[in-house]
Every structure is written in C-alpha cells, then in structure tokens.
Structure 1
C-alpha cells in the first residue's frame, strides 16, 4: 500500500484506504497502457513511413514503367514480406493496446466516481466529513486523482 495512504490513520478507515489504493493502482495501470499505446502508435507511424519511402525509392522510381516489374521485384525479396508482416503486427498491437487503455480508463473513472458517490458513507462522522478535503488534496497532489468532482 502507498505510504501516503497508510498515513491517513485517523481520517479514514481500512476499507476507504483500500478503495483509495485501488484507484491509485487503476490510475497507474491506465497511465502505463496510455504510454505504451503512444509508443507503439509512433513506432507504427515511423516504420510505415520509412518502409513506404524505401519502397518508393527502391521499387517505384526504377521500375515505374511496369507494374509487373515492380510486383516481381517486390515478391522476389523476402525481406519485404517480413517487413510488411511486422508493420501489420505492430498495427494490430496498437489496436489491442488502445482497447486495453480504454477499458482501464473506464475502470479507473468508474472507481473514482464510486468513491465520490459514496463519500457520505465513507466519512460518516462529522469531524471526518469536515476533514475529508485533506484526503482529497493529498490524492490530487500525490497521485493527480481528482476526487472533488466526477468530471474528468
């Protein structure tokens, strides 16, 4: 469990600390997937551009007089097939990571909204209710998780 969440001894009970820990874990998972998706997306863009530029200068320019000649040269080099399969595979990985990122984002925001909705139940006592802003400020400052409003 995160140390700053453990330090919330008198302000929260164990169940609330577990919920805060889970929202931090889901935020970290979402951020990690978002970074990986971005890296793979830029790799797909860069490699696709580079591969098609390579094909243009190696196939299109010298063999522009005949499509059959271009196709014959393309098929005769097996590295073209491997490069094409690799780029298509990266494109598929990018789509899988996008789906996982969207799912992780939904889970993160659902749990964050659940904490906001149940705040009256989580901080039942009057003094806990008045000091809940300290917990909210800590979550915003340390983990960039806004518990004040449901909107992103």
Structure 2
C-alpha cells in the first residue's frame, strides 16, 4: 500500500512505514465510526420526533379529556409497541456506536502520541529527521492526522 505519503527518494525503515500505515488505518476506522454514530444519532432524533408528533396529533389532541382513554387508545394499537421498541433499539445501537467511536478515538490518539514520543528513534539519521515535516504535512493534508504535536 504505497501512497504519495512515502516519496521514492525518502528513505524510511519498514517499522516506521508500518506504524504510519497503522496510524492511518486507525484514523480511517475512527472517522467511519464517527460518521456512523452521527447518522444513527440523527435517525434516532428524527424518528423519535416524528413518532411523538404523530402521537400528539393522533392520540393526545383528540383524547385529551381523559388520561385513561388516551392510555387505552395508545395500548390498543400494537404498532405503537413496535415503534417504541424500534426507537429503544436504535437508541441502544447509537450508544454502542458511541462507545466504539470513543474506543477507536482513544486507540488512534494513543498510537499517534506514542509515534510522536518515539519519532526521534524512528527517524534516526539527520536526513530523514530534517525531511520528516514533508511527510507530516502530507499526512495532515490527506488524512487530517497531526504528528507535530500531541494535543488533539
């Protein structure tokens, strides 16, 4: 998986390349989980909003004179149970994705910080040390990975 990040005239050892490719892989995984979480979160919000709006118009307004009648009309329709279970399931899935996203972010950040800490060892000679900023800038441009500083 040679990419434009590693120019031909730039000499890196295999370990450094593997670590950088692993950082890119972790970043892609984090970005994918982040997008999925946001998508499911908005689906949950939209579905819940539409369901409660429908309940308000179909049950709350016509039967507002008695809570017992409202409750019996709500329970009478089995579709309400299925929609409620669907919303609870999507909410649970959203929380699972949030936990996965947080774990992926932590793994990415830890690996990135470890690379930054060990960069003096990985870029041993002065030629690669002086040219590493070119690769770091390409990583920043292509993948939004900052290897200059440990701060997020």
**Pairwise TM-score range, normalised by the shorter structure:** over 0.9
* Cα distance, 1:2–1:36 mapped onto 2, change above 3 Å: farther
Q: How does 1:2-151 map to 2 (within 5 A)?
A: 2-7=2-7, 10-151=10-151
Please give the per-residue CA displacement for 1:84-111, whole angstroms capped at 9, x wherever unaligned: 0000101001100011000000000111
Distance 2:12 2:141 in 1: 18
* Cα distance, 1:8–1:77 mapped onto 2, change above 3 Å: farther
Please give the per-residue CA displacement for 1:51-79, whole angstroms capped at 9, x wherever unaligned: 00100111111111111111111111000
Instruction: Please tell me the root mean square deviation across aligned C-alpha atoms, in Å.
Output: 1.3
Q: Which TM-score applies when normalising by structure 1?
A: 0.95
Q: Which runs of 5+ in 1 are unaligned?
A: none
Distance 2:114 2:4 in 1: 21
The structural deviation recorded for 1:9 is 6.0
Task: Give the count of matched residue pairs.
Answer: 152
Checking the alignment, whether the CA contact within 8 Å between 1:5 and 1:21 is kept in structure 2 is no
Checking the alignment, whether the CA contact within 8 Å between 2:63 and 2:70 is kept in structure 1 is yes
* Cα distance, 1:16–1:8 mapped onto 2, change above 3 Å: farther
Checking the alignment, whether the CA contact within 8 Å between 1:44 and 1:91 is kept in structure 2 is yes
Q: Which TM-score applies when normalising by structure 2?
A: 0.95
